[in-house]
Chain A
């Protein structure tokens, strides 16, 4: 069963008398262990789509299901519980809580979930170590570099063992080398922990790491591609700096513009 299903999602914003159609019928699904990149130029609807997937925004029409259960109709508290227990978020601007130290930031979702102190501290430590920040665990976010902060955000997103992690341009505020390291870290955690990742980007170097790519343009899916991701397999294992060049098999979505991997609606 797909972790996430997106069925004919539309999103229209009204600005004064002008209606802006940010999404115009988007459908796709995310499978367990997926490493999916949503790609497109600025304003194509990537962030809107991710916000809807993360249940922090509502579609104007259409439906999003998580494990077959529709997100629509959930109360505020149910949505908060669902985001807490089944989703992880990574933001472009890292969005760490500035007054808490690194370990506390990672621990925060576990506190909200009511996890026992001993267990939550152990889990947070394990993840902080996993993202390579054990030596700065007691530092405040403003004492870390951008890459380090994003690694904290990744640890925080994974600490509640979610089914899916949603990352909105996680490398946009980082230099290309650090960005690649972050995506490699996400990729490693994706394969180790079998957590689905959906991330948006417009950086072609980052896109290479995705198993699947959904290309968005003007609120429509124009292409769905599957590829052998960079960093996967024995020939490219390990290094952050090794990024294979661009030619990858691309799969034209059925029906072309506006089509999805589930076919036109």
Chain B
């Protein structure tokens, strides 16, 4: 037990240097926890929120993907209820709903705003950010209800209960308008989304764009995202003769998924950078610590301490620095990540660019904690192993000469 005692006593002998090494380890653990918590939060927000709104699988009319106008009404699904009945009977399907997407002009007195309209079921399971962000009223339930964002309402100078005209080019290519009453005001935490979309009931939308008994898309939430491929291929085979095209969430969000994969590499790069900086600080401090005690090590070796015991002693000091620094890092990093998991980190337009809202809510996972702990301890141990190796290669006589 004398070597652990020597290691511990040496650590406490130089409090400043010990604090420097521990601070470097702590900082690397905190930065890793922070970055991984942020990335995991973004990923979770993306999958939970965005996927929940767009579904794991979407059904459209064939050729819908190639449309020029994003609000085109040329590609519609007839008799969607038949498809929905089948979908809702499947075990893998949690929710299946029809949505009628169209473009329109919102007009109030002399103000107007071009936006996309969504016709949906009154008690939709989708658009959670809109439901959760409802400031006044509710999603449309009746044929004359319309829900717009508070930002849109502000731009058009309307309030709850005010009339609002929606002008569209119907499925026949003719202009048509209906006056609705503002039944709900929402704030989805994405200003881009808020000024881009308004909501009617599906029936009201069918009437407005003159597509009775039709819809533009069916969204399906499955019990697991990993079931999407098998369900999609089954549905595609089943309904190819009806001219239905089936896309999975990977097809729909391909660009975002690529960005997330790139994010993984970016975060790996940042993690490595953090570790390299931390490792160089730690290694230099440990080297300084070890070489300041060259005479002590030389004496112990002369007395009969074996090289591997010297190696063990220095590594033990490194491991202790690593463990203490990592614990301090966890003590700071975990509450920090949990704070941002609760309150979110304001990202503004950067967050909206990834359709995750203005705030990014962090997520703490066991894997990220384990990775940070391993990185913290291993960085300090690696630094001390390097120092031990450098010292271990020196003959005793050289160590004495160096010590003077």
Which residues of B pack against A, CB within 8 Å? 2, 5-6, 9-10, 13, 295-296, 298-307, 309, 395-397, 400
Q: How far is the CB of B87 from chain A (nearest CB, A)?
A: 73
In the bound complex, what is the Cα–Cα distance between A193 and B307 (angstroms)? Answer: 30
Stretch at the interface among A88-96, A181-189, A227-235: A88-96
Say yes or no: A112 contacts B305, CB within 8 Å. Answer: yes
Stretch at the interface among A30-38, A79-87, A127-135, A194-202: A79-87
A98 CB within 8 Å of chain B: yes
In Å, the complex CA distance between A69 and B336 comes to 65
Within 8 Å CB of B400, what residues of A? 51, 56
Q: Which of A4-30 contact B (CB under 8 A)?
A: none
Q: Which residues of A contact B (CB under 8 A)?
A: 51, 54, 56-57, 76-77, 80-81, 83-85, 89, 91, 93, 95-100, 104, 107-109, 111-113, 156, 160
Contacts of B397 in A (CB 8 A): 51, 56-57
A56-B10 in contact given A95-B295, A97-B296 (Cβ < 8 Å):
no
B296 and A84 within 8 A (CB): no
Q: A56-B400, A95-B295, A97-B296 are in contact. Are A89 and B395 (CB under 8 A)?
A: no
State whether B299 touches A99 (Cβ < 8 A): no
- Inter-chain contacts of A98 with B (CB < 8 A): 13, 296
Cα A156 to Cα B10 in complex, Å, equals 21
Q: List 15 A-B contacts (CB under 8 A).
A: A51-B400, A54-B302, A56-B396, A56-B400, A57-B397, A76-B306, A77-B307, A80-B306, A83-B302, A85-B304, A97-B296, A98-B13, A100-B5, A107-B2, A109-B304
Contacts of A113 in B (CB 8 A): 304
Question: Are A100 and B304 closer than 8 Å at their CB atoms?
Answer: no
Taking the closest CB of chain B, its distance from the CB of A160, in whole angstroms, is: 8
Chain A, residue nearest B299 (CB): A95
Contact B300 A97 (CB under 8 A): yes
Question: In the complex the two chains form, what is the Cα distance from A264 to B360 in whole Å?
Answer: 87
A81's partner among B5, B304, B395 (CB-CB below 8 A) is B304
Closest A residue by C-beta to B10: A99
- Given A56-B396, A56-B400, A57-B395: A99 and B13 within 8 A (CB)? yes
In the bound complex, what is the Cα–Cα distance between A81 and B6 (angstroms)? Answer: 21
Return chain B residues, CB-CB under 8 Å to A57: 395-397
Given known contacts A51-B397, A56-B400, A57-B395, is B304 in contact with A97 (CB within 8 Å)? no
Q: Is the CB of B296 within 8 A of A108?
A: no
Q: A-B pairs with the 4 shortest C-beta distances?
A: A84-B304, A99-B9, A95-B299, A57-B397
Complex Cα spacing A231 to B309, Å: 41
Query: Given contacts A57-B395, A93-B295, A97-B296, are A83 and B9 in contact (CB under 8 A)?
Result: no
A100 contacts across to B, CB distance below 8 A: 2, 5-6, 9
Greatest chain A CB density within 10 A among B5, B296, B302, B303 is at B303
In Å, the complex CA distance between A81 and B306 comes to: 8
- Chain A CB count within 10 A is highest, among B5, B13, B299, for B299
Report the Cα distance A84→B2, complex, angstroms: 16
- Say whether, besides A56-B397, A99-B9, A100-B6, A80 and B296 are in contact (CB < 8 Å): no
Q: Which residues of A contact B6 (CB under 8 A)?
A: 97, 99-100
Specify which chain A residues have a CB less than 8 angstroms from the CB of B303 in the assembled complex.
83-84, 89, 108-109, 112, 156
**Nearest CB of B to A179, in Å:** 21
CA A76 to CA B311, docked complex, whole Å: 14
Known: A56-B301, A89-B299. 19 other contacts (CB 8 A): A51-B400, A56-B396, A77-B306, A77-B307, A80-B301, A80-B305, A80-B307, A83-B302, A85-B304, A89-B303, A95-B296, A95-B298, A97-B299, A99-B9, A100-B9, A107-B2, A108-B300, A109-B304, A112-B305
Cα A111 to Cα B4 in complex, Å, equals 13
Contacting pair B302 A112 (CB below 8 A)? no
**Residues of B with C-beta under 8 A to A76:** 306-307
Asked if B304 and A80 make an inter-chain contact with CB atoms under 8 angstroms apart, the answer reads yes
Cβ–Cβ < 8 Å partners of A104 in chain B: 2
Contacts of A97 in B (CB 8 A): 6, 296, 299-300
Contact present for A56 and B302 (CB under 8 Å): yes
A112 CA / B310 CA spacing, docked (Å): 11
Contacts of A160 in B (CB 8 A): 304
* A111: chain B residues within 8 A (beta carbon): 2
Q: Report the nearest B residue to A51, measured CB to CB.
A: B397
**A109: B residues at CB distance < 8 A:** 303-304
* Chain A residues within an 8 Å CB radius of B298: 95
Q: What is the minimal beta-carbon distance from B212 to any residue of chain A, in angstroms? A: 89
Please give the distance in Å from A247's CB to the nearest CB on chain B: 37
Bound-complex Cα distance A109 to B219 (A): 77
Q: How far is the CB of A12 from chain B (nearest CB, A)?
A: 14
CB neighbours of B306 from chain A (8 A): 76-77, 80
Q: In the assembled complex, how far is the CB of residue A57 from the closest CB belonging to chain B, in whole angstroms?
A: 4
- Per the bound structure, the CA–CA distance linking A196 and B304 in Å amounts to 19
Shortest Cβ distance from residue B66 to the other chain A in the assembled complex, whole angstroms:
75
CA distance A81 to B303 in the complex (A): 9
For A96, the chain B residues whose CB sits under 8 A away are 299
Q: Which residues of A contact B299 (CB under 8 A)?
A: 89, 91, 95-97
* Chain A residues, CB < 8 A from B295: 93, 95
Q: Which residues of B contact A80 (CB under 8 A)?
A: 301, 304-307
Q: Complex Cα distance A51/B307, Å?
A: 18
Residue of A nearest to B297 (CB): A97
A156: B residues at CB distance < 8 A: 303
* Closest B residue, CB atoms, query A112: B304
What residues of B have a CB within 8 angstroms of the CB of A54 in the complex? 302
Residue of B nearest to A109 (CB): B303
- Min CB distance, A229 to chain B, in Å? 27
Query: B9: which A residues are within 8 A, CB to CB?
Result: 99-100
